[in-house]
Amino acid sequence: MIGLEKVLAWLRELAGVFAQAREELTALDAAIGDADHGINMDRGFSAVAADLSASPPADIASALKAAAMALIRTVGGAAGPLYGTFFLRASGACAGQGELSSSDWVAAFRQGVEGVRQRGKAEPGDKTMLDALWPAAEAMREAVEQGQALPEVLRRAERAAEAGMKATIPLQARKGRASYLGERSVGHQDPGATSAHLLLRSAAATLA
């Protein structure tokens, strides 16, 4: 089961994860974007950690909603609205639940991913964060259907996100600033898919 303390540990861990990945993400974004994704993710999750410390949430839904609001408030570009939507939709799916089972977590995650798809008007294969998030959601669903325990559910999601992230390298971008480059976007790993993989990798380490 996933309780409030695990969710808070995950969200706080993400502040450190994105601080450490700041330069990597910025370098990836410099190749096909605005060179600010690492800066934005670092700033956004630092704000998430600060807000959670200043106003400790009472339940999981409140924690995820607080993360969403902090990201929307502080993150520039497309990442703020998209990650904000992810956490806001996931929050709605957790309303009234004190703990999340594996199937509850998958349902919340899928709601978040669907929110990203709708908000970004993107599909898998467009060379966006969805290329990591979508296969992660599918891997989790399949693992739960097979009766796997939570740690394995989360590990499969992380592996699927990593594979999806790497699969963006040969793709031509069809959404976002990278799409303006046309064929020149081919050969570069998508920064949004990379940050999404980091989010899943941290979840596998902390939520289990």
Cα distance between residue 195 and residue 23, in whole Å: 12
CA 118, 122, 124, 127 dihedral sign is: negative
- Alpha-helical regions (H) of 4-97: 4-20, 22-32, 37-54, 60-74, 79-93
CATH class of 2-206: mainly alpha
Could you give the 3-state DSSP secondary structure of residue 95?
A: coil
| H or E segment to which residue 205 belongs | helix 191-206
Cα distance between residue 186 and residue 188, in whole Å: 6
Tokens of 148: 């796997």
Residue 100 DSSP class: E
pLDDT at res. 90: 98
Indicate the pLDDT class of residue 182, thresholds 50, 70 and 90: confident
Could you give the 3-state DSSP secondary structure of residue 5?
A: helix
pLDDT at res. 178: 76
Tokens of 107: 């349902």
Indicate the pLDDT class of residue 158, thresholds 50, 70 and 90: very high
Q: How confident is the model over 126-155, as a mean pLDDT? A: 97
Indicate the pLDDT class of residue 155, thresholds 50, 70 and 90: very high
- When the pLDDT of each residue in the chain is averaged and rounded to a whole number, the result is 95
Cα distance between residue 203 and residue 195, in whole Å: 12
Q: What is the pTM of this model?
A: 0.95
- Please check the confidence at residue 175 and state whether its pLDDT lies above 80: no
Indicate the pLDDT class of residue 57, thresholds 50, 70 and 90: very high
CA 175, 180, 186, 188 dihedral sign is: negative
Closest by Cα among 4, 5, 3, 16 to 199: 16
Q: How confident is the model over 77-90, as a mean pLDDT? A: 94
pLDDT tens-place string over residues 185-205: 799 999 999 999 999 999 999
Phi, psi for residue 100 in degrees, rounded to 5: -115, 130
- Please check the confidence at residue 152 and state whether its pLDDT lies above 90: yes
- Alpha-helical regions (H) of 55-181: 60-74, 79-93, 102-120, 130-145, 150-166
Tokens of 89: 């939709």
pLDDT tens-place string over residues 112-138: 999 999 999 999 999 999 999 999 999
Indicate the pLDDT class of residue 142, thresholds 50, 70 and 90: very high
